[in-house]
Amino acid sequence: MPLDPQFPSDDDHLVARSPGDPAEPAQDPTPDGPDTVETLRERSLREAAERGDAPAALELAHLLREAGRHLESWHWAQLAADAGNLTAAGTLACWRWVESRDTALEPQLRAGADHSHSARAGLADLLRVTGRVEEARSVLERGAVRGEVASWLPLGNIYREELDDVVAAEAAYRAGIEGGDIHSHHNLGVLLLGAGDVDGAIEHFSIAAAGGDELAARVLRQVISEG
């Protein structure tokens, strides 16, 4: 059973905000109903961004992206980057890598790696797919040492898939879990399932599924049905 792809199609993990956890999807207010918490949050961020607050513009970009409003999210992220926000520039480089897989983005990803967890993950992925596995590992290990939770899951994937080191992979996934990364539960579940620990795998798939990981939910259903 394959591990969660390093860059899933909705890229809600590795290109999530940096630092901080992904926001819940923003919602449009109902015509006659009260504003929701997320609507108020979006409004507050938008007002700050319109006043030239670059960090607020980047946070708004993440909120909109997670709601599926990608064109709007690109607009605000670009405004933040144009204002000199290095995290925004790195985030944009990662988004472009996710969408285009253009290896010419390597200089931008390198420039952003120490400012954006997303850029670091994107750089590591680019290095990995171009055959530079050891450098990809080094990039992610640097992020882990710096306390960047987003580095643990792709680092675990490299340990398991490229270096065949399941002990190091398990440690990386558990470190991601301790840091609050819900997707690391899924990958640890895959690892445990491969080792024959079905109960342990189900436990971690369940946690990931409860946290909104759709792939984990599908795998959980499959494991239970086959059990």
pLDDT digits (tens, 9 = 90+) for 173-212: 999 999 999 999 999 999 999 999 999 999 999 999 999 9
In this predicted structure, the answer to whether residue 14 has a pLDDT above a threshold of 60 is no
In this predicted structure, the answer to whether residue 23 has a pLDDT above a threshold of 80 is no
Quick one: pLDDT band at residue 38, thresholds 50, 70, 90? confident
In this predicted structure, the answer to whether residue 40 has a pLDDT above a threshold of 50 is yes
The residues spanned by each domain of the chain are: 182-227
Element (H, E) at 19: none
- Residue 90, both tokens: 């790195």
Q: What's the pLDDT score for residue 35?
A: 73
In this predicted structure, the answer to whether residue 10 has a pLDDT above a threshold of 60 is no
CB neighbours of residue 165 within 10 Å: 14
